[in-house]
Amino acid sequence: MNILFSTASGVFFKSVVNKESLHAIEKAAFVVVLDDESNVLVVDDITTFSMFDRSLLHGKCHNGWFDKSFQVICYKNSIFGMKAEHSWADAPIMSHLTEEVLYDEFANFGYNDDGTCVRELTTTPLPPQQLKCNIPEPCIDVIYSSLKTAKLLSDDVDLHVFPFRKFGKGLIKTFRMSPDAFIQLSLQLAHFRDKGHFSLTYEASMTRLFREGRTETVRSCTTESCAFVRAMKDPEQTNEDRIALLKKATERHVSGYKEAMTARLLCYLETFSYPQFELSTYKPLANALWKCKKNFLCNIHSNFSQLETLFRPSR
């Protein structure tokens, strides 16, 4: 889609008017979308959660500017949400921004009876300017063709969102377990029950301890997690055995998470291209397909010491 857009913009946006309008959009820090529909979350109607998220994710495929850092989508009934393009930032960044937007005015300033913020404006907002474009007939054909492709992609998205209220992280902590590790083990079990096999899995970990640090990979599919999952499927295993394996797997996950945060868990994928890289243990990893991204990769951590012995690049 990006290739098609790049080609079309090079053909149809050469004129001064079109070029200036496109440049104004592309140089903007973000895009605010004023949607003409209403959206609402009804606690007792879980279908509204999926509808709302689907609207934020792809909408109608034409009511947003997807090639952008992030979009603030405001609906007709004053409900809003955010959508971010992943290459520049990760989920916690947008979560913190959204929390700041929702909380700052409410906590620090309050509102007048008419709904406006008590705080005085420090700058005068710039008036909106309408962007003008000259769209020829061939360009319209390209737009409709792209829209058809985008709709096929959006219709192929399976999305089901629902609130889970049976318990939360508070209960998990009483088990002296990491809530994150507990969830990751649950995902491993669910995936195995659904697919009948384990998959390469990763979970993103923030590397904020380092300047310009972004993320490192946590290997969620480990030897310990596989042992726990198999025990859950084995009728001869007792609940005590399963709980012991669960605790061991969560401890292993937390250990990997800490190593990733401190950059100790480095992925030596570069070594796969070395001529002397002939170990049958690792060659399948170089050619493996990543089938799961909910945060599946394989557990090669335990073999890093062997890799380091074989390969010590001077640079």
Supply the DSSP string of 118-176, one letter for each residue.
SSPPSSPPPPP--------HHHHHHHHHHHHHHHHHHHT---------S--HHHHHHTT
Task: Output the pLDDT for position 289.
Answer: 55
Residue at 164 is within a domain = no
CATH number, domain of 140, equals 3.30.559.70
216 and 252 part of one domain: yes
81 and 41 part of one domain: yes
Inter-residue contact 105 to 119 (CB < 8 Å): yes
Residue at 160 is within a domain = no
Inter-residue contact 150 to 1 (CB < 8 Å): yes
pTM metric for this prediction? 0.73
Alpha helices (H) along the chain: 2-12, 16-27, 47-57, 91-108, 137-155, 169-174, 179-195, 223-233, 239-261, 283-287, 304-310
**Tokens representing residue 151 in the block:** 């709709």
230 and 288 part of one domain: yes
Residue at 129 is within a domain = yes
- From CA 11, how far away is CA 8, in angstroms rounded? 5
Total number of residues shown for the chain: 315
72 and 123 part of one domain: yes
130 and 178 part of one domain: no
Task: Output the pLDDT for position 231.
Answer: 97
CATH number, domain of 290, equals 3.30.559.10
Task: Output the pLDDT for position 269.
Answer: 46
110 and 174 part of one domain: no
- From CA 236, how far away is CA 227, in angstroms rounded? 14
Average pLDDT of the residues of the chain: 82
Q: Could you tell me whether strands 70-74 and 31-34 are parallel, antiparallel, or unpaired per DSSP bridges?
A: parallel
Show the low-confidence residues of the chain (pLDDT under 70): 1-2, 265-315
Give the number of domains in the chain: 2
Q: DSSP character for 117?
A: B
What does the pLDDT look like over 136-170, one tens digit per residue? 999 999 999 999 999 999 999 999 998 888 999 99
Residue 86 annotated among the catalytic residues of the structure: yes
What does the pLDDT look like over 187-211, one tens digit per residue? 999 999 999 999 888 888 888 788 8
- From CA 5, how far away is CA 229, in angstroms rounded? 45
- From CA 185, how far away is CA 216, in angstroms rounded? 19
Q: Could you tell me whether strands 70-74 and 215-218 are parallel, antiparallel, or unpaired per DSSP bridges?
A: unpaired
Domain end marker among 155, 188, 211: 155
- From CA 38, how far away is CA 80, in angstroms rounded? 10
Which of the residues 23, 86, 197, 253 is marked catalytic? 86
86 and 18 part of one domain: yes
Task: Output the pLDDT for position 172.
Answer: 94
Residue at 162 is within a domain = no
Range of the domain at 123: 2-155
Task: Output the pLDDT for position 211.
Answer: 83
Q: Give the SS3 label for residue 56.
A: helix
Distance of CA 181 to the CA centre of its chain: 18
**Tokens representing residue 132 in the block:** 């003008």
Task: Output the pLDDT for position 235.
Answer: 94
140 and 266 part of one domain: no
16 and 149 part of one domain: yes
DSSP per-residue string spanning 200-217? -B-EEEE-TTSTT--EEE
Inter-residue contact 61 to 45 (CB < 8 Å): no
Backbone torsions φ then ψ of 216, nearest 5 degrees: -130, 165
Inter-residue contact 108 to 117 (CB < 8 Å): no
